[in-house]
Amino acid sequence: MKKQESEDFEKFCPNCSSTDLELYQGGIMGRMFKCKKCGYIGPVMEKKVLK
Ligand SMILES: [Zn+2]
């Protein structure tokens, strides 16, 4: 089967599920993000979004 080109991934906070995230500088374990809503800092989850 042909893979859908319309798939997209949305990052969201594993703590509060907010998608209002910003890249957090200073992490040494790869990409870290900060949640603007709850203040969570760390790796975030990604969910597949079908458009
Ligand atoms: Zn959050």
Distance from residue 50's CA to the centre of ligand 1 (Å) = 23
What pTM, to 2 d.p., does this model score?
Answer: 0.69
Domain of 24 in residue numbering reads as: 13-50
Rounded CA separation 33/19 (Å): 11
Q: Which residue has the higher pLDDT, 24 or 29?
A: 24
Amino acid at 33: F
Q: How many domains does the chain divide into?
A: 1
Distance from residue 3's CA to the centre of ligand 1 (Å) = 32
Beta carbons of 32 and 42 less than 8 angstroms apart: yes
Q: Does 43 fall in a domain?
A: yes
Distance from residue 40's CA to the centre of ligand 1 (Å) = 5
Distance from residue 7's CA to the centre of ligand 1 (Å) = 24
* 3 pLDDT above the threshold of 80: no
- pLDDT band at residue 7 under the 50/70/90 scheme: confident
Look at residues 22, 48, 9 and name the one whose alpha carbon lies nearest to residue 40. 22
Q: Does 1 fall in a domain?
A: no
The gap between the terminal CA atoms of the chain, to the nearest Å, is 18
pLDDT of residue 2: 63
pLDDT of residue 19: 95
Distance from residue 27's CA to the centre of ligand 1 (Å) = 17
pLDDT of residue 28: 63
